[in-house]
Structure 1
Amino acid sequence: MATMKDIARLAKVSTSTVSHVINKSRFVSDEIAERVNNAAKELNYAPSALARSLKMKRTNTIGMLVTTSTNPFFGEVVKGVERRCYEKGYNLILCNTEGDSERMKSSIDTLLQKRVDGLMLMCSTLEGEHLDVFERYPELPVVVMDWGPMLFASDKIQDNSHQGGYMATKYLIDNGHTEIGCITGPLHRNQASLRYEGYKKAMADANLELNPQWIIESNFMCDGGFDSYHKLKSKGQLPSALFVCNDMMAMGVINAAYQGGLHIPSDLSIIGYDDIHLSKFMTPSLTTIHQPKHRLGKAAVDTLINRLKTPDAYPQVVELEPTLVVRDSVQTL
């Protein structure tokens, strides 16, 4: 592999001159710069990213840990992260934790060995885990996405889940529904809890009673929605509408209702949460709360880069606001 010394020998200049041309660190005449560049091209020279990173103490590489899920929400966020990294000239190393805290810790150690400049975490199934790696490396920039209260200092990107839950329920109420149930995610997780609290507040503001028979805690997965529908059905009369706290569970509910002979929305209105790409192609297309997934990814990358520039700044929380997407799964009474 060619080195700067090889280029200097061929171009008949000093090694320091080659360095200035390659790194654009000092003015060099056009004639000499052309000789150096032609020599580099002839020798197929490629700058050493490792050598540059050691000199600059930066690798322009970001590590991201994410929990694999069948929920396309995570993939859509990662796509936003990848795009922003490319726009900002950063490389991305993606690690899958599979919801395992030991695997997450091992992945963090691996990323640190790769000398990443900072970390992004989107592993909400592990929220509340004690990660001593952040105590050992307090200077490591970390941005957390889609996670609840943390035991370490970091910047945080999140959607306003309480507002989203309120908006979803209020939309059902505004369309004449008074018998409204809720299928929640795991309530030990911050976002599931906040969406449920938003639902309860909207019901209270409208002076509507909560029927505990119509509230089911589930798992944010399609099978959870499917099973939750059958639990509701087994308890007797169904409500006229359901706020299902993510689109994947809503898909499961719609499938179970269809198998049970119900029509959506004439027999049961459903509103979801996330606005995953598939939601508009369901039958009927799903009315839902839109999370700005690409902006979530973009904001995480921008926040991490800003942290690299100003490492002593106070940790910040960036909250993105949800919006309502009206489609065909809610009937007006």
Structure 2
Amino acid sequence: MQITLKDIARMADVAESTVSRALNDKPGVGKDTKRKILKIAQENNYRPNQLARGLAANKTNMIAVILSEMDSPGNIEIVKSIEKSADEKGYQIILCNTNNQEEKEKNYLSLLESNQVDGAIFIGGKLVGSHLLRASFSPKNNIVLVNRLAEENFFTSVLTDYSQGIFKAVKHLVGEGFKNIALICGHQNDLIEEEKISGYKLALREAGLEVKPELIFPTKADRQAGYDVFLDIIEKDVIPDAFISTRELTTIGLVEAIKMGGYFIPDDFAVVGYGDNILTSIIDPPLTVISEPVGKIANYSFEFLLKLINEKMNEQQIEVLTPELIIRESSISKYN
């Protein structure tokens, strides 16, 4: 059983306040008494309750990182980078997954509102709801949004320019001679996916190509959906010569289906995926990807939160970052 402050006081035959002063190196404790208390604490492997100490001091050195979904490798990479930055500054993170459920998000938000954490970073998710908006009105609630939108943005935010990322991919494929470019994406009621669809349409128009609704395929964000959508596509009248997949798991399924059908990448179909991570790196041939600046997203979001916690931010800040297109073999035309 973990030894407590009260246990040490009893073993040293002193008051709990004396133990507290000794352990926190504060004046008012004799040298012999302090030495005795520290020896007892060391021998019994005493560890202070960080949360209890934090609540007493109105600071916990803990932050909540609240994910809309755990299935996104890109989001996990952002979390890992935030954790590294937090550790360097003496903070710990509590990782929370809402699975896009509003009630779960409200429950995790209570960690912030009850001062159990010093701040919260929300990564991804639907349009900000009224519960989160209300929380933002209190100056004690330190909140940073990552890749999440609000109708009235009262939040310090770090955003990815998803539209520009897809725009770059379409422009590259058109430059390689591909004309019928399919978009495997999420549904338009997802604001992030809507941004990607917008970038796709804009790039086609600027290239003088027709936007064909029959080449836009909304799917679920999983491997099976990517596999199934290809089987549906090859039965249709308009067959694409290139694909852009906006999510990692969908890309994996799409590539598997192309290969299982006896087709070759990029000879039969060019493919551009999303996210430069462990999942997309195993694809053969090497996959052209739209890569988010994960490190910058993490650094900006944590530094913004730190400024809010330390009351060093005078006004809301918004940072918009542009994805990079990393060109590899999967999208290079054999005719160029």
Calculate the TM-score normalised by the size of structure 2: 0.84
Provide, for residues 78-106 of structure 1, a one-character-per-residue CA deviation record: whole Å limited to 9, x for no partner.
21122122111111111221221112212
Q: 1:92 maps to which residue?
A: 93
**Counterpart contact for 2:271–2:331, Cα < 8 Å:** yes
Q: 1:159 maps to which residue?
A: 160
Deviation at 1:279, TM superposition (A): 0.8
Does the alignment pair 1:280 with 2:281? yes
1-structure distance, mates of 2:110, 2:19: 39
Residues 39 and 268 of structure 1: CA distance in aligned 2, closer, same or farther (over 3 Å): same
**Counterpart contact for 1:97–1:123, Cα < 8 Å:** no
Deviation at 1:255, TM superposition (A): 1.6
Provide, for residues 179-217 of structure 1, a one-character-per-residue CA deviation record: whole Å limited to 9, x for no partner.
222222222222211122112222122111222221212
Q: 1:212 maps to which residue?
A: 213
Residues 204 and 57 of structure 1: CA distance in aligned 2, closer, same or farther (over 3 Å): same
Residues 64 and 89 of structure 1: CA distance in aligned 2, closer, same or farther (over 3 Å): same
Residues 34 and 182 of structure 1: CA distance in aligned 2, closer, same or farther (over 3 Å): same
Q: 1:306 maps to which residue?
A: 307
Residues 5 and 98 of structure 1: CA distance in aligned 2, closer, same or farther (over 3 Å): closer
Residues 122 and 325 of structure 1: CA distance in aligned 2, closer, same or farther (over 3 Å): same
Q: Which moved more, 1:142-151 or 1:323-332?
A: 142-151
**Counterpart contact for 1:80–1:297, Cα < 8 Å:** yes
1:247 maps to amino acid: E
What secondary structure is seen at the aligned counterpart in 2 of 1:329?
Answer: helix
2-structure distance, mates of 1:43, 1:268: 65
Does the alignment pair 1:67 with 2:68? yes
Residues 127 and 223 of structure 1: CA distance in aligned 2, closer, same or farther (over 3 Å): farther
Q: 1:267 maps to which residue?
A: 268
Q: 1:127 maps to which residue?
A: 127
2-structure distance, mates of 1:257, 1:39: 66
What secondary structure is seen at the aligned counterpart in 1 of 2:188?
Answer: coil
**Structure 1 unaligned spans of 5+:** none
1-structure distance, mates of 2:258, 2:162: 26
Q: 2:182 maps to which residue?
A: 181
2-structure distance, mates of 1:51, 1:283: 52
Q: 1:195 maps to which residue?
A: 196
Q: 2:222 maps to which residue?
A: 221
2-structure distance, mates of 1:180, 1:2: 65
1-structure distance, mates of 2:185, 2:135: 32
Deviation at 1:304, TM superposition (A): 0.7
What secondary structure is seen at the aligned counterpart in 2 of 1:116?
Answer: coil
What count of residue pairs does the alignment treat as equivalent? 331
2-structure distance, mates of 1:213, 1:4: 70
Provide the alpha-carbon RMSD of the alignment: 3.3
2:131 maps to amino acid: L
Percent identical across equivalent pairs? 25
Q: Which moved more, 1:99-108 or 1:130-139?
A: 130-139
1:216 maps to amino acid: F
Provide, for residues 281-317 of structure 1, a one-character-per-residue CA deviation record: whole Å limited to 9, x for no partner.
1122211111122332232222111111226622211
Does the alignment pair 1:105 with 2:106? yes
Deviation at 1:130, TM superposition (A): 2.5
Matches within 5 A, 1:134-153: 134=135, 137=138, 139-150=140-151, 153=154
Q: Which moved more, 1:34-43 or 1:274-283?
A: 34-43
